[in-house]
Structure 1
Amino acid sequence: MSSSDKPKAEEKCTKETEDGGFFGKVKGFINDIGDKIEDKVKFGKPSADLAAIHISKISFKQVDLIVDVLVTNPNPVPIPLVDINYLIENNGRKLASGMIPDAGTIHARSSETVKIPVTLVYYDLKKAYADIVPGTILPYKVKVDLIVDVPVIGKLTLLIEKCGEIPVPYRPDVRIEKIEFEKFSFKETVTILHLKLDNKNEFDLGLNQLEYMIWLGDVSIGGAKLAKNVTIVKNDVSELDIPFNFRPKDCGSAIWDMIRGKGTGYSIKGNIDVDTPYGNMKLPIEKVGGTTTFKNSKDDREDDNNPKVHLSRF
């Protein structure tokens, strides 16, 4: 065979390998299968909706939110949530932000709720922005970016947002309006405390329970935990009548200074359990440095700044 025939033979071998040889048939088979899978399996873009924002817990110090994000995966395979970025703002001012890495997986052809916990501390908010004051209702907007990794398509960012509002609680002011004696003895005295609660919040407080301790001078004369069902209207003052028993012999000179008209200092501390439009709260109450004096039951004159002891009978 001449040397001129060799290139033609090699060229023919190469062409057969590409067109009809073993490797060519395998390549064609794989391409054919890929085309059929692509026709049958369509990968689509997932969707997300900020379904709800719940106040899971609220107190005088902070509010805990749960942001529910509903993610729908239309694809035949699971997709991972790479990252979740969130921002809570008020009129463009950041209240809180954060990032949750590797947030889980959304199963194939299903919808699942992803929960994002967020805590807002009132002290931090009031320190950052002077116009956020107790007693007000604070509007906010939640913005969430979900980064998902979809086969064939790649990484996608789903942007969602929702508005809401949270209260910034104000601690109700409390004072003793008067103490009415129902029964008086040195061993035990039965009284009715007439309390005034000043609700300076922009929302009603549904009182469930009152827990308190009382001091005359520096002497603790007792306390109680009572169930009460009273609505304390927003920006209004409500009156509560609380039964209270104590022993004058344990009060030292404070009770006698009060009866003699000299006046004696009192303090009341405790908390109230209330229902609000935003959930249940336990709010502290405190009055330190109040003054009481004896007042005859026939004297109808009252001084709101100086609660009296009203003696009804011994």
Structure 2
Amino acid sequence: MASDDKPEIVDRGVKDKGDDDDKGGFMDKVKDFIHDVGEKIEETIGFGKPTADVTTIHIPCINLEKADIVVDVLIKNPNPVPIPLVDIDYLIESDGRKLLSGLIPDAGTIHAHGEETVKIPVTLIYDDIKSTYNDIEPGSIIPYRLKVDLIVDVPVFGRLTLPLEKTGEIPIPYKPDIDLEKIRFERFSWEETVAILHLRLENMNDFDLGLNGLEYEVWLSDMSIGGAELEKSTTIGKKGISYVDIPISFRPKDFGSALWDMIRGKGTGYTMKGHINVDTPFGPMKLPISKEGGTTRLKKDDDDDDEEGVTVTPES
């Protein structure tokens, strides 16, 4: 065989390491390209992460048994499509101790390029709190921390958790103490007598009570002398005392010896029940007032105080 006819030998041995580097570099470029395309699509279509904020905390109802609380959360959706609000997970604690927690599933949808105020209603039952934490006293104000996790499902980003937190204070209300200290007769008749009841109201709470209404009924010696609604504006400071005069009319001839005991200066037993309507830093409240087994007396001319006495004289 002639030398010109010898076959050409080609080396097909192991590839250079540089070949792998070239391949890796190529794959990285592909990934970067896909990422860049994704960002361009995101910028073009306008996808973005939603935002949320606690705007207001309302206390629409508060009394001696419970406090209804509504948390307003404003959620903004910058995306061109609606996003579902999958779950709302919330926790209320005080000084690191859990007061209440819960989960609200399938809480709705946030419209495209829109914003929604989502309301989270919760109820604090005071008996549950006081039975769990003995050191929480009626009439006190306790700090609270509200934690909310909003779970949303967003295209491109997937499922996201938006954590929120808010702090504040909430009261543990206590009913005021009431005493009927004296009764002054303005006009006396056996058929109808008009009297003024001198009430002493003591605020047992660590916050002011703005008294703006009073509903009451009074019994003397187990016999009702009636009641009424009274609009009265005054402020009873925290841990303070206020005095209120309220008019009442009744028929003395229906009372027998109880009225004569008062006229002769003796005390007589009484019971008083009702409600007071008050404004507080936490919203309006309707608090019960009650006094049973108390003793009161007629205000007479010779009583040793600064208030002028009233002489009781039957009408002709």
Which TM-score band applies after superposition, normalised by the shorter structure? 0.7 to 0.9
1:72 and 1:128 mapped to 2: Cα distance?
38
1:57 and 1:251 mapped to 2: Cα distance?
40
1:157 aligns with 2:131: no
Q: What is the aligned partner in structure 2 of residue 16 from structure 1? A: none
**Cα shift at 1:37:** 4.4
2:298 and 2:117 mapped to 1: Cα distance?
63
2:43 and 2:302 mapped to 1: Cα distance?
96
Aligned match for 2:143, one of 135, 139, 146? 139
1:183 and 1:249 mapped to 2: Cα distance?
14
1:1-314 correspondence to structure 2 within 5 Å: 37=41, 40-294=44-298, 296-300=300-304, 311-314=310-313
1:38 and 1:242 mapped to 2: Cα distance?
71
AA paired with 2:155?
P
Structure 1 residue ranges without an equivalent (≥5):
1-30, 303-309
Structure 2 CA distance for partners of 1:312 and 1:60, relative to 1, 3 Å: farther
AA paired with 2:268?
T
Could you say what secondary structure the match of 1:40 adopts? helix
Q: What is the aligned partner in structure 2 of residue 26 from structure 1? A: none
Aligned length: 275
AA paired with 1:55?
I
Q: Percent of counterpart pairs with the same letter?
A: 64
TM-score between the two structures when normalised by the length of structure 2? 0.81
Q: What is the aligned partner in structure 2 of residue 11 from structure 1? A: none
2:147 and 2:262 mapped to 1: Cα distance?
59
AA paired with 1:83?
D
1:266–1:290 Cα contact (<8 Å) kept = yes
1:146 and 1:286 mapped to 2: Cα distance?
45
**Cα shift at 1:311:** 4.5
TM-score between the two structures when normalised by the length of structure 1? 0.82
**Cα shift at 1:38:** 5.3
1:108 and 1:293 mapped to 2: Cα distance?
72
**Cα shift at 1:156:** 1.1
**Cα shift at 1:260:** 3.6
**Cα shift at 1:241:** 1.0
1:48–1:70 Cα contact (<8 Å) kept = yes
1:260 and 1:40 mapped to 2: Cα distance?
94
2:129 and 2:42 mapped to 1: Cα distance?
53
Coordinate RMSD, CA, aligned = 2.0
**Cα shift at 1:247:** 0.9
